[in-house]
Amino acid sequence: MQRDETHCANAIFQQPWWLDAVAPGRWEEATVERDGRVVARLPFVVRGRRPLRILSMPPLTQTLGPWVERSSASSRRALDQELRLLEELEAALPPSQGFVQAFSPSVMNALPFYWAGYRVEVQYTYRLAGIRSQEALWDGLRGNIRREIRKARRLVEVRDDLGLDRFYSVWVKTFSRQHLQPPVSLAALERLEAACGARGARTMLFAQDEAQRLHAVSYVVWDHNGAFFLLGGADPELRTSGASSLLMWEAITRAGAVTDVFDFEGSMLKPVERFFRAFGSRQTPYLRVSRLSPPAAAALTLRAGWRRLATLRRPATRQV
């Protein structure tokens, strides 16, 4: 089986090295070959045990879904080929009680999955195109974002050399403020940092003031397909400095040296959406594709209920 890893992906999240970092030994993929060459692939992570196995996505991974080799044929024939390959990918998936994935925005065809009984929902991310032009980017910012960036430049310095431990210590404060556990451990981030750092596939930014206090942090990953805002956080006591806006601006401009597209992560939360849109980004649809048997749906609902209950029972952190 031949595979050009550089071109068998719509985004960095589908690269085998990424999947090795975020789901070591736990990811698999369905593939379709033509003449010994991979022409379509669909990575996935198996969650749960029999009989409630679900094909899903690993942590720290915004989108996954299928990659299909582009055809140079006419539009009608190209669509015919795409539909056939997607049908073969779906048929090649192992038996399971469910499938839940967010497809890359570059894959807006999920008809074969819909025909096979999957649910297809439209969700939204925000994207900036043409990020190599800083002048155009600055003109596209909302006025309050420009003011926050200018304010932050007077108060903090942008650093990229303070290490993952300090990044994590600020990032987890975002969850501590809401009495939540962070979604991934420091060890999991260390694996990803080692993989991305070795490939020059990320920037990790800090906003630090003269007193050595960290106001905000940001972690952005990239390859030639695009840059993606992966993680960000701020010290709740220093949130009015504008540092988060400054770090987002800095990440976008740095990403312009590698790619021409910046993705703000796909949050559907209203306050987060408003912040992302203020950078001049465009609303971009992507597909959430799922199929759950009644037992699997019940199990996931029960698990979500237990998580909410645990959050409610957790004592509030004392404010000093």
Q: Is residue 33 part of a domain?
A: yes
Which structural domain range is residue 52 located in? 12-124+286-313
| pTM of this structure | 0.89
Give the CATH number of the domain where residue 194 resides: 3.40.630.30
Q: Is residue 144 part of a domain?
A: yes
Q: Which residues contact 224 (CB under 8 A, 6 or more apart)?
A: 6, 258, 259
Which of 214, 241, 259 lies at the terminal end of a domain, its last residue? 259
107 and 56 in one domain? yes
Residue spans of beta strands (DSSP E) within 160-212: 202-208
Residue 130 region, left (φ>0) first, then alpha (ψ -120 to 50), else beta?
left
The domain total for the chain is 2
Q: Is residue 272 part of a domain?
A: no
169 and 98 in one domain? no
Token look-up 């930014």 returns 205
218 and 159 in one domain? yes
Q: Is residue 276 part of a domain?
A: no
159 and 120 in one domain? no
Q: Is residue 275 part of a domain?
A: no
- Tens of each residue's pLDDT in the chain, 320 residues: 444 555 688 999 999 999 999 999 999 999 999 999 999 999 999 988 777 899 999 999 999 999 999 888 888 899 999 999 999 999 999 999 999 999 999 999 999 999 999 999 999 999 999 999 999 999 999 999 999 999 999 999 999 999 999 999 999 998 887 778 888 999 999 999 999 999 999 999 999 999 999 999 999 999 999 999 999 999 999 989 999 999 999 999 999 999 999 999 866 778 888 899 999 999 999 999 999 988 777 776 766 665 554 444 444 333 33
Residue spans of beta strands (DSSP E) within 164-250: 202-208, 214-223, 226-234
248 and 151 in one domain? yes
Residues 224-244 as b/e (b if ≥16 CB within 10 A, e otherwise) read: ebbbbbbbbbbbeebeebbbb
Tell me the HSE value of 3 on the side-chain side, using a 13 A CA sphere.
16
236 and 154 in one domain? yes
55 and 115 in one domain? yes
Give the CATH number of the domain where residue 37 resides: 3.40.630
Q: State how far the Cα of 57 lies from the Cα of 106, in Å rounded to an integer.
A: 17
Q: State how far the Cα of 104 lies from the Cα of 83, in Å rounded to an integer.
A: 17
Q: Is residue 155 part of a domain?
A: yes
165 and 250 in one domain? yes
